[in-house]
Amino acid sequence: MFTGIVEERGEIVARDDLAEAARFRIRGPLVTSDASFGDSIAVNGVCLTVVEFGDGEFTVDVMAETLDRSSLTGLGAGAAVNLERAMAAGGRFGGHIVQGHVDGVGTIVSVSPSENWTVVRVAVPADLARYVVEKGSITIDGISLTVSAIGTAGEYGDWLEVSLIPTTLAETTLGAAVEGARVNLEVDVIAKYVERLTGAGSNEGRA
């Protein structure tokens, strides 16, 4: 499990495309400082398993299912990525519950800077929009953020906005966000469980 508090902005050093998979070598001195074989590290919000590590770098294998469902499919050598180690038992819970299981990919449709923050609007897939609420939590490329606005108007359909403080802009990949960029989205897992349980409860025992 993760919290969505990015520890380090890493860089993809190399990508090898394999049969229905890809192998990424990623530079991340901080997240590899105590790495072990089999550890989980979130890469742009995708939970991946360390298969090799050393000299401040680690290697992960990404299967076709993950490539198909995340923005990792479009990344190669030189791309910056947000990195977070799995939360340690007893650690500080600074963000919200993040599983590292991407629910879908959104598209940045506008970036509006101001003096003290930047507002980023992201088009959200229709099947995820029902889980997004104003002032609720959303994970964008592995970053735990608060939804500052939602809407459905315009050519992009469902959208959400997040307001980014200077620290988030400086320490994560969203600082270089541009219109048209694809980002990984993970909605609040509690909302999904509530929907599932409420739906099951309303139908059980009824003709």
Is residue 97 a part of any domain in this protein? no
Is residue 147 a part of any domain in this protein? yes
Is residue 45 a part of any domain in this protein? yes
CA distance 52 to 38: 9
Is residue 117 a part of any domain in this protein? yes
Residues 119, 168, single domain; the answer is: yes
CA distance 75 to 43: 11
Question: Final residue of a domain: which of 85, 117, 148?
Answer: 85
CATH number of the domain where residue 66 is located = 2.40.30.20
Q: What does DSSP say about strands 143-151 and 159-164: parallel, antiparallel, or unpaired?
A: antiparallel
Is residue 204 a part of any domain in this protein? no
What are the two backbone dihedrals, phi and then psi, of residue 110, each rounded to the nearest 5 degrees?
A: -160, 150
Segments in 18-121 forming alpha helices (H): 64-69
Top pLDDT among 164 and 196 is at 164
Residues 48, 124, single domain; the answer is: no
pLDDT digits (tens, 9 = 90+) for 133-172: 999 999 999 999 999 999 987 777 899 999 999 999 999 9
**Residue 132's closest CA among 151, 118, 114?**
151
Q: Are 83 and 7 in contact (CB under 8 A)?
A: yes
- Residues contacting 101, CB < 8 A, separation 6+: 47, 186
**Residue 79's closest CA among 164, 183, 162, 185?**
183
pTM: 0.91
Q: Which two tokens stand for residue 9?
A: 């902005």
Concatenating the DSSP letter of every residue in 145-158 gives EEEEEEE--STT-S
What domain range is 123 assigned to?
104-195
Question: Final residue of a domain: which of 51, 85, 119?
Answer: 85
- Total structural domains within the chain: 2
pLDDT of res. 200: 52
pLDDT of res. 87: 86
> In the predicted model, is pLDDT for residue 204 greater than 80?
no
3 state DSSP class of 164: strand
pLDDT of res. 156: 75
Residues 73, 113, single domain; the answer is: no
Is residue 138 a part of any domain in this protein? yes
Location of structure tokens 């509530």: 194
> In the predicted model, is pLDDT for residue 207 greater than 50?
no
Is residue 47 a part of any domain in this protein? yes
